[in-house]
Homo-oligomer: A and B are copies of this chain.
């Protein structure tokens, strides 16, 4: 291996998570990382390992996943883009490939990530939306949900809002965006940005906000639930279908 010839490449990857066991490679399960690595390995003739910025769970989508890998291959970026896609199923697309600085790492260098959770309370969900929008029975009151969402802004210990893997580590994260918006055809979207996420964090926040919308959790009880670090006080984990990794931000020039 000629070290001078080693390149670091940065990929943008979009995928529908419906048919995959999430991002992270798992023996015997189709995962996005596994399929992208297999495509790049086939293309370059090397055993490629990629790092993804966000480890999305089974069924979760990405419109802005970023991944990085190193290679000694001299295939131009355009050839990697077209070649990788030719080996990938249609619900996973490498959207761009660019040269990155030596040492660039998609996860370690990420400053923040933004996720969106889409849901609808209409009686029937359009087939144009059903893969990426969660359909909920019954009415939700959005105003108290918006109030509750504001309490997640800032620096908090999110132990009460994450899965068992998240509770095993330091769960302090800084949330810089937490608010609701609207999209066509009656779709509500909750957007959250943070400097890092924990297992099931977005889906547990969303499941809790749904309970607020149903009047079962008071919007102003969020600070107390955060302080309790008690997972049983938050709401259930919302289904993965509505969740999409939307964007990963890096320091300028990276």
Which residue of B92, B127, B130 is within 8 Å of A127 (Cβ)? B92
Which residue of B85, B95, B128, B132 is within 8 Å of A14 (Cβ)? B128
Q: Does A91 contact B (CB under 8 A)?
A: yes
- A91's nearest neighbour on chain B, judged by CB, is B127
With a CB–CB cut-off of 8 A, which chain B residues contact A16?
Answer: 127-128
What is the oligomeric copy number?
Answer: 2
Which residue, of A61, A81, A95, has the highest number of chain B Cβ atoms within 10 A? A95
Say whether, besides A81-B124, A123-B81, A124-B81, A130 and B90 are in contact (CB < 8 Å): yes
Contact mask for chain A residues 63-102; partner B; CB cutoff 8 A; 1 contact, 0 none: 1000000000000000001100100001111111000000
Q: Does A15 contact B (CB under 8 A)?
A: yes
- A63's nearest neighbour on chain B, judged by CB, is B128
Q: Give Cα A127–Cα B88 distance, bound, in whole angstroms.
A: 11
Q: Does A125 contact B (CB under 8 A)?
A: yes
Q: Give Cα A90–Cα B130 distance, bound, in whole angstroms.
A: 8
With a CB–CB cut-off of 8 A, which chain B residues contact A93?
Answer: 124-127, 130
Which residue of B90, B92, B123, B127 is within 8 Å of A90 (Cβ)? B127
With a CB–CB cut-off of 8 A, which chain B residues contact A90?
Answer: 127, 130
Which residue of B95, B124, B126 is within 8 Å of A126 (Cβ)? B95
- A132's nearest neighbour on chain B, judged by CB, is B128
A-B contact pairs, 20 of them (CB 8 A): A14-B126, A14-B127, A14-B128, A15-B127, A16-B127, A61-B128, A63-B128, A81-B123, A81-B124, A85-B124, A90-B127, A90-B130, A91-B127, A92-B127, A93-B124, A93-B127, A93-B130, A94-B124, A95-B124, A96-B124
